Amino acid sequence: MPDESINFIGGFDGFVVGNMKEIKRIFDLFGAKVNIVCDPSEVWNTPTDGEFRMYDGGTTKEEVKRALHAKATIVFQEYCCEKTTKYLREKGQEVVVLNAPVGVAGTDEFLMAISRLTGKPVPAVLELERGQLVDAMADSQAHLHGKKYALYGDPDQMIGYSRFILELGAEPTHILATNGTEDWAKKVRAMLEASPYGKDCKVYPKRDLWHMRSLLFTEPVDFLIGNTYGKYLERDTGAPLIRLVFPIFDRHHYHRFPTWGYDGGLRLLTMLLDEFFETLDANTNIPSKTDYSFDIIR
């Protein structure tokens, strides 16, 4: 018999611990029971406390079996979980298909889906966090407005990150997904065309980083968003890399912090700004005796 729980399928990214923790917190705030299929976050965040754990936490087989009888499933992997979505619908389950809930609009869609499925209003604390994120974006948009970004990685994450870039008034210029399909490219182009900041962006399904390397030379950008392997593009082309996509092997503890939800959006905004200011400082001439205060106050 169906129960009132909701399944969640989120995919795997470089911020898996922080993002899964954020998803659980959001469902808890709604008072909704959630089955996460699957949840590797505790495996990646096992404490050192003297007790040996081979695989800590995670999703059990029993939980996966019960998930088939849940009220509905929310899927963040529209383009990477097509067969899963088809299977669940064939079993008569409602499936809500979204993309990575990054930024304001992406998180709004996620919360409204939970609200509809549970019949409960969006918790006040999340409304507060939304306002705080919008305020932070307003504080900082002047620094990011008009900056050009190249992005590559998971198709669904590319939609989430690109949408947030557009919300900031920045300009995605190249969006590449090796496993992106023509249907994915069509959806991304529609998103870009709906914003004045996306009109000059080009979308590249079924392309690799060698292709991206050529693009960064022929149509340079201000920043590159991708995974660890982008460091070689950064070395070759000079485009500063912001590490946001799995895998991130050459930096520690990124996986512990969220980029999903409103709180995650604030973390993401900070990462974009940090790289902007680092690049600005690196490329700024030695200040004169009269403008050092302006350089500090940003």
Q: pLDDT value at position 289? A: 57
Nearest-5° angle of CA 152, CA 165, CA 153? Answer: 15
Residue 183 tokens, joined: 């249907």
The secondary structure of residue 177, as a DSSP letter, is: E
d(CA 266, CA 239): 23
Place of tokens 């963040």: 76
**Residues 167 and 105: beta-carbon distance below 8 Å:** yes
Q: pLDDT value at position 57? A: 84
Residue 223 tokens, joined: 């920043």
Residue 8 tokens, joined: 């969640």
pLDDT along the chain (298 residues), means of 10: 83 85 96 91 89 87 91 95 94 95 97 98 98 98 97 96 98 97 97 96 98 98 97 98 94 94 98 95 67 61
Q: pLDDT value at position 296? A: 64
Establish whether domains 6-126 and 143-282 are of one fold: yes
Q: pLDDT value at position 290? A: 55
d(CA 45, CA 61): 21
CATH code reported for the domain at 6-126: 3.40.50.1980
d(CA 155, CA 80): 8
Q: pLDDT value at position 282? A: 86
Q: pLDDT value at position 15? A: 85
Domain ranges within the chain, ordered by starting residue = 6-126, 143-282
Q: Name the H helices within 219-288.
A: 230-237, 261-282
d(CA 167, CA 163): 6
CATH topology of domain 143-282: Rossmann fold (3.40.50)
Q: pLDDT value at position 41? A: 86
Q: Based on the number of CB atoms within 10 Å of its own CB, is 285 exposed (0-12), middle (13-18) or buried (19 or more)?
A: exposed
Q: pLDDT value at position 95? A: 97
Residue 116 tokens, joined: 């509809």
d(CA 10, CA 252): 22
pTM of the model: 0.93
